[in-house]
Structure 1
Amino acid sequence: MADGYRGGGAESRRGRTHSKMDKSLKAARQTPMRVLDIGCAANKMPDAIGIDINPQSQADILHDLNLYPYPIEEGSIDKIYAKHIIEHLDNPRSFLKEIRRVLKPGGTAYIETPHFSCRVAYSEPEHKLFYSYFMFTELLKGIDFKVLLQEITFYKTFRACGIRYLANRFPDTYERFWTYLFPAENVILEIQRPSS
């Protein structure tokens, strides 16, 4: 087994979902589609194909997520969820390329990771990188994806003060000046493989 993501740990936070992810999950359940839950741990999404390295996970496919390609047919997946997994991986660009490879044309991927200002980003010794709003912009360069959503989320405490709106309207200003006054929770990204 290669050094890298082993599943478990504080990633039990996977059980919480973001409201945009909830809507996406409902849509996925209403139409027949192949859904892949990457790094599913013990909370695999219902009716999804789970892939994880941890033998105690609910994975259908046991595989080291740092080794590419995954044992999944090219262009065979409609929707991918990778919640709190990319921060564990050695090469996030290779991971994004692999997501593109397995997605069907028009398929979408939802990625969620702790924002660098979040305490959780530093509490797991297995975390390899800390993500900002702009990290995904850099990682996606040269990979053919359409960005459907890129957003910073916050804990409930800070939502009432309007910081979420300001942070997503002015992400550079937020990350340069406000991030340590109002720490974020996650960075979320929803991307789509172009249809043609």
Structure 2
Amino acid sequence: MMKLNLGSGGRPLEGYVNVDISANAPKVNHVFDLDRTPWPFESDSVDEIVMSQCLEHLEDHNLAMREIHRVLRIGGLAVISVPHFTWQMAYADPTHKHFFAYPTFFYYTGKGGYFDFKFARCEVKIVFGKRLSLWNYAIEPIANLFPTVYEQSPLRVFPALSLVATLIK
């Protein structure tokens, strides 16, 4: 069973092939640039992919999504975490090249017909930072129940931290 942790950085995962552009990343198993395709993995060879806070840094996130689809086996799972567009650091970090909203990952299921690949299933969760922002405990379930209302209303004054998309090939 092959599992990839793409853009592992300082978050290596046990039992995964940790992939990063930096050879200095802790416990990195495979060093390569995710912007260069094709990736050095066989088609339909990967069971699970984790990509946390990496996709927004790539030049072409659509190409990366195509590669994720290519290397995943049928029924394979990809869990991708990206900053939500309402979070200030989504824009403040000068290395971020893309911004994401709730509907973004549903396009990769064939919505709109923009891509020559499609995932069979997609679920997206809006995640809020909690710590001292106690109101986020109340806002998070509402935002996930009514994501469009959250993103298109004054509720956005309560910024979300990230999106976690779970895609199945």
> Which residue of 1 is the match for residue 149 of structure 2?
173
> Which residue of 2 is the match for residue 86 of structure 1?
55
The answer on whether the counterparts of 2:108 and 2:118 sit within 8 Å (CA) in structure 1 is: no
> Which residue of 2 is the match for residue 182 of structure 1?
158
Which range is displaced more, 163-172 or 95-104?
Answer: 163-172
Distance 1:56 1:169 in 2: 41
Q: CA deviation at 1:79?
A: 0.5
> Which residue of 2 is the match for residue 125 of structure 1?
94
List per-residue Cα deviations over 1:159-188 (Å, max 9, x = no partner).
322x11221222111111135321001111
Residue of 8, 11, 18 corresponding to 1:50: 18
Unaligned 5+ runs, structure 2: none
TM-score normalized by the length of structure 1: 0.76
Q: Which of structure 1's runs of 4+ aligned residues deviate more than 6 A? A: none
Query: What aligned pairs does 1:16-165 form with structure 2 within 5 A after superposition?
Result: 33-57=1-25, 58-141=27-110, 142=115, 143-156=117-130, 157=133, 158-161=135-138, 163-165=139-141
List per-residue Cα deviations over 1:90-144 (Å, max 9, x = no partner).
1111111100111111110000001011122123211001111112223543432
CA-based RMSD = 1.5
List per-residue Cα deviations over 1:74-96 (Å, max 9, x = no partner).
11111000000110111111111
Unaligned 5+ runs, structure 1: 1-32
- What is the identity percentage for the equivalent residue pairs of Structure 1 and Structure 2? 31
Aligned residue pairs total 160
Q: CA deviation at 1:51?
A: 1.2
Q: CA deviation at 1:47?
A: 1.6
